[in-house]
Structure 1
């Protein structure tokens, strides 16, 4: 059944929109729960736009359905004419002024050339928008106990183990307690969405991709000199099974490299070393490979621990399922760039969908 065929939905939605006149978006979002309660089988998303000239908000209700989307809005008599919507005060285009020299948003964004060189940054921007879109349809306030669990986890992850440490951290970032709760609630909502997307799929995904979740114990050497890194990789491939630790010790003592032993997921090693790590077994030498923060890495696989579906692995599998879900949504997303040349934006959008 189409969502807009719910009895009385359009009349209720129009009356609901009339009641938003003069309200801030936070209050409008809270009222949306009432409409959803009256029509529980209907998915609805609220959008708003603030008119720069008047400072008032205009609201639209979206009802996603198969093959498209239904939009419903209401504009009071005093509302700004449609052709003028979106006009802005000139000051809203300014980011900062230094010694009287003004920097506009357009100028600031134009210097972010790294965005065009690294699609991962653009992917994070697009993914954040896609997640926000999904949450807007499913939005529900987390229960108090779930929110407290999320707050505790948030603090532990940042080493904020005392109330004083938390207050100091908030003060350094100019955060109020209410704003911190908003951030944590948003993270909890994303976690709930991830669980929803992965629900009922973890076991089958793990069975189909088990080897990708193996844990590999590796000896990792980090080099600054490409020639030394290549030479070390060649020597590692030639040493006896008992020799990697001795070779690593020599390299560290000579000041050529730093060394550490780690347990890495196979997927993390594939991301760094490529396909060579996909089927790597004990004794395999990987690299040299460039590191994100500079330098080169050479790794020797000491042992492989076959994956088991424990709680840690379940979380990793759920993350992969969620990543695949986002990738599918990116492929079909309508992305609009408001700066950059057409050639650059087309190339970047193609990379995001690939």
Structure 2
């Protein structure tokens, strides 16, 4: 039995179609080129240089390299588009693995490489996976974190001003410290573990630095106004509260008439946050806006509850309250954070959000 190579089959097909011999030979050469191209994401630049060299030797073909970056994969696929001698063009697809052309493999879903779009900004699956690892967990809801990332990304994407060396260094240092990466070797090992190149890491840090600059400028611009408009939210409040799955679990506290009574009920212990049986007891000093909602506006000595709160039942009170002032630097900084949080909530409410895979 006679066997034919892929290159021979291409040449014979070209000859049968009446195509000139030079084009047939170019097709054979192009197939061989496709099979030699490096397949790692970091090597796409090398592949483009190889195609440019091939183009110099075959100028009539005017080759164009089309690169596919499959979601969640460090390998890439290629199409090579060639000019046909009779006009128009032909495309060759080369895969060294399962042989399924990427244009067919992903044709069943218009957003095969996208996880999420917010307004006109789309987040690819690989970017989302890395973003999940890299985000500072400012918000407990993962979906909200991704939406907020898109909203912030959109604010800086078209900026002409690149991040400064100092901003890049600060962003990289914050990223590394947050993951216990205290040396270049540790950072490179982490990147290898998550399948990320140094170039991709640098690109991510560039956007992190730009986003952090936007956050910093936004807070500086809006902090004073937000503090002035919501001054009571930034009172420092000493509070104590107990929470449980249902009100029956709080029966031991039925006799409480003051916040101090919550600390002296039989069998209860004081502390920052303690789980005692079915009841969690917390005693803390916080900004008023960071307290459970039923306690935020209470005056010193007042109690509230038992009332539903965050899927549980809460009973609590305020032991002391220190009024905020507009001159307090700590209150001003917290007001900046609150202003940004409020702005992001407004942007989420207005945004057109599409989850492509959820």
Asked if the contact 2:303/2:315 (under 8 Å) is kept, the reply is: yes
1:243 Cα offset (Å): 2.8
2:169 paired residue among 140, 148, 163: 148
Q: What is the rounded CA distance, in whole Å, between the counterparts of 2:313 and 2:90 in structure 1?
A: 60
Three-state SS of the structure 2 residue aligned to 1:235 is coil
Asked if the contact 1:233/1:287 (under 8 Å) is kept, the reply is: no
1:209 Cα offset (Å): 1.0
Q: What is the rounded CA distance, in whole Å, between the counterparts of 1:233 and 1:79 in structure 2?
A: 80
- Superposed CA deviations along residues 247-298 of structure 1, whole A, max 9, x for unmatched, are 27536797343434222222222xx43xx33412222334556676x76544
1:176 Cα offset (Å): 5.2
Asked if the contact 2:298/2:317 (under 8 Å) is kept, the reply is: no
Asked if the contact 2:239/2:320 (under 8 Å) is kept, the reply is: yes
Moved more, 150-159 or 245-254: 245-254
- Superposed CA deviations along residues 299-318 of structure 1, whole A, max 9, x for unmatched, are 33222232245443333222
1:211 Cα offset (Å): 0.9
Q: 1:202 to 1:219 in 2, by over 3 A?
A: same
| Residue 284 (structure 2) aligns with | 262
Q: What is the rounded CA distance, in whole Å, between the counterparts of 1:78 and 1:202 in structure 2?
A: 59
Q: What is the rounded CA distance, in whole Å, between the counterparts of 2:202 and 2:285 in structure 1?
A: 34
1:235 paired residue among 252, 255, 274: 255
Q: 1:225 to 1:323 in 2, by over 3 A?
A: closer
Asked if the contact 2:223/2:336 (under 8 Å) is kept, the reply is: yes
1:305 paired residue among 308, 322, 344: 322
Q: 1:302 to 1:132 in 2, by over 3 A?
A: same
2:336 paired residue among 318, 323, 327: 318
TM-score normalised by structure 1 residue count: 0.51
| Residue 151 (structure 2) aligns with | 130
Asked if the contact 1:51/1:87 (under 8 Å) is kept, the reply is: no
1:89 paired residue among 98, 101, 105: 105
| Residue 208 (structure 1) aligns with | 229
Matched, 1:279 2:300: no
Unaligned 5+ residue runs, structure 1?
1-23, 28-48, 57-76, 81-85, 96-104, 106-118, 341-354
- Superposed CA deviations along residues 139-178 of structure 1, whole A, max 9, x for unmatched, are 6432222222223333444555667776676565455555
| Residue 263 (structure 2) aligns with | 245
Q: 1:245 to 1:51 in 2, by over 3 A?
A: closer
Give the aligned CA root-mean-square deviation in angstroms: 4.7
Q: 1:55 to 1:268 in 2, by over 3 A?
A: farther
Q: What is the rounded CA distance, in whole Å, between the counterparts of 1:193 and 1:181 in structure 2?
A: 18
1:210 Cα offset (Å): 1.0
Unaligned 5+ residue runs, structure 2?
1-41, 46-66, 71-75, 80-87, 92-101, 114-124, 126-139
Q: What is the rounded CA distance, in whole Å, between the counterparts of 1:207 and 1:297 in structure 2?
A: 30
TM-score normalised by structure 2 residue count: 0.51
Q: What is the rounded CA distance, in whole Å, between the counterparts of 2:151 and 2:143 in structure 1?
A: 12
Q: 1:333 to 1:248 in 2, by over 3 A?
A: farther
Q: Of Structure 1 and Structure 2, which has the larger fraction of its residues in helix?
A: 1
What is the total number of aligned residue pairs between the two structures? 242
Q: 1:171 to 1:51 in 2, by over 3 A?
A: closer
| Residue 18 (structure 2) aligns with | none
